[in-house]
Amino acid sequence: MPQRLHLVFGGDLVDPSRTEFKDVNAIHIVGIFPDYATAHAAWKAEAQRTVDNAHTRYFIAHLHRLRDEEQAASATEELDG
């Protein structure tokens, strides 16, 4: 069974109604988690910690959805190829 990795990250946004970060170099990487439940708990903790700052948002990225492991990788994607 493939892993279902999730990335939790966040930071200050330019505008609370958009998802553009003020400074991408200052994005807070909370971590990579092995399942959605663990990622959601980490996201919730960070969201609650920063609840008083309207410009700060945290997100969960479903890393397992970014790749189809059944497809062959391109030469530029794999350094060995």
Q: What is the pLDDT of residues 20-65, one digit of tens each?
A: 999 999 999 999 999 999 999 999 999 999 999 999 999 999 998 8
77 within some domain = no
Model confidence at 3, pLDDT cuts 50, 70, 90, reads confident
48 within some domain = yes
Structural domains counted in the chain: 1
11 within some domain = yes
Specify the DSSP class assigned to residue 44: H
CA–CA distance, 78 with 81 (Å, rounded to integer): 5
Is residue 6 within 8 A of residue 61, CB to CB? The reply is: yes
65 within some domain = no
Model confidence at 81, pLDDT cuts 50, 70, 90, reads very low
Place of tokens 């493939």: 2
70 within some domain = no
55 within some domain = yes
Is residue 60 within 8 A of residue 7, CB to CB? The reply is: yes
- Domain limits for position 48: 1-30+42-60
